[in-house]
Every structure is written in C-alpha cells, then in structure tokens.
Amino acid sequence: MMLYTFLSGMLVTLFFVAALFFLRFWARSRDPLFLSFACTFCLLGLGQSLLALGRFAVEERSWVYLVRLAAFLLILAAIYGKNRGRSSR
Amino acid sequence: MQPLLAAAVYLLCFATSSGCAFLLARGYLRSGARLLLWSSICFTFLALNNLMLVLDLLVWPDLDLQTLRLVTSLAGVGVLVFGFIWDQEEEA
C-alpha cells in the first residue's frame, strides 16, 4: 500500500508538471491545442488524486474513470479540430 | 455504476487513449516536431495502462495489476517531462 501511495504521488506530480509545461507553451504560442493538453493533464492528475485519496470500493471506482475519459476525449477533440483547421486552410 | 457501463468506460478510456497515441504519432511522422514524439510516447504508455485496466478489472478480476498500471503511467508521463526538459537544454 505504501508503494502504491508513493507511486501515486509521483504520478500526480508529473501530470501537473506536464500540464505546467503545456501551459507555458500555450502562453508563448497562443495555440489552443496546448491549452487543451494542459487541461487534459490537469484532469488526469485530478483523476489519479481521487483514486489515491478517496477510498472507493471497487464498484464505485468506475465513476472516477469518467474524469480520465473526459481528459482523453478533450485531447482527441483538440487534435481533430487542429487537423481539420489545417486541411481546410 | 452498472457493470456494463463501467466496462464501457474502461474500454472507451483504452480506445480514446490509443486514438490519441496514433494521431500524435502520425503528426510526428508528418511534421517531425519532437514535442509530438514525446507526446505520442506518453499516450502510448497511457493506452497500455488503460489496456491493463481492462485486463485487470474486466478479464481477470482476481489479478492485481495496480502497481504495474501505475508504473506504465509513470513511464509515459516521465518520458514526456524528460523530453521537455531535455529539449529545453538543447535550445539554451
């Protein structure tokens, strides 16, 4: 359990660090794709925090994975939007 | 949550993360932007993590892959942050 808590903490930190990097890229370039990446990694960090902190029973845990799913859907939509914008130009 | 709905959420997590990894890898092959390379490696590991989630919770519920799942996510986001810091060193 201690290893799980330790690794979870590391993972959450790295998710938020990655989000900060993307936020800086966005501040430099104003490309909305980077903002989507930043939001995605914040959501992934949030989802992992909830899993580590909220002692959910296994059958309740699947709600938390909706946060993760939202993160992936957000970035898929952003990449799709970017590709479409490029091809219509 | 209903078991069927929960299964759908896990499978969709796997499908969407795989889709992200694929699109980012394709973007890297087209543009050669290293940022896309690091991102696609990251999402490949996250997709692997979600595949393990499906195997762990749906296929073999008795198996405990929790630590292994965390390690794959750590590898993914670790590579991403490493790539960002490494490339920045080269820029300076």
For B37-48, what is each residue's pLDDT tens digit? 999 999 999 999
Q: Are B72 and B48 in contact (CB under 8 A)?
A: yes
> Nearest CA to CA, how far is A88 from chain B (Å)?
17
pLDDT of A80 strictly over 90? no
CB contact (8 A) between residue B20 and residue A60: no
Please state the rounded mean pLDDT for residues B55-72. Answer: 88
The stretches of chain B forming alpha helices (DSSP H) are 3-31, 34-54, 66-91
Q: Which of A59, A20, A65 is nearest to B61 (CA)?
A: A59
Name the percent of chain A lying above pLDDT 70.
Answer: 91
A78 vs A85: CA distance, rounded Å: 10
pLDDT at residue A17 in the model: 97
Question: What is the structure's pLDDT at A56?
Answer: 72
Please give the DSSP secondary-structure letter assigned to residue B56.
Answer: I
Q: What is the pLDDT of residues A24-58, one digit of tens each?
A: 999 999 999 999 999 999 999 999 999 888 877 66
**What distance in Å separates residue B70's CA from the closest CA in chain A?**
7
Residue A61 has pLDDT above 80, yes or no: no
Residue type for position A1: M
Specify the pLDDT at position B17: 96
pLDDT category at A75 given cuts 50, 70, 90 is very high
Nearest CA in chain A to B84: A21
pLDDT at B91: 58
Q: Which pLDDT value is given to residue A26?
A: 96
Query: Residue B5 corresponds to which tokens in the numbers above?
Result: 């709905």
Give the pTM.
0.91
Q: Count of alpha carbons within 13 Å of A57, Cβ hemisphere only?
A: 3
Considering only CA atoms, which of B5, B46, B71, B68 is closest in space to residue A76? B46
Decide: residue B65, CB within 10 A, 0-12 exposed, 13-18 middle, 19+ buried.
middle
Question: What is the Cα–Cα distance from B1 to B92, expressed in whole angstroms?
Answer: 50
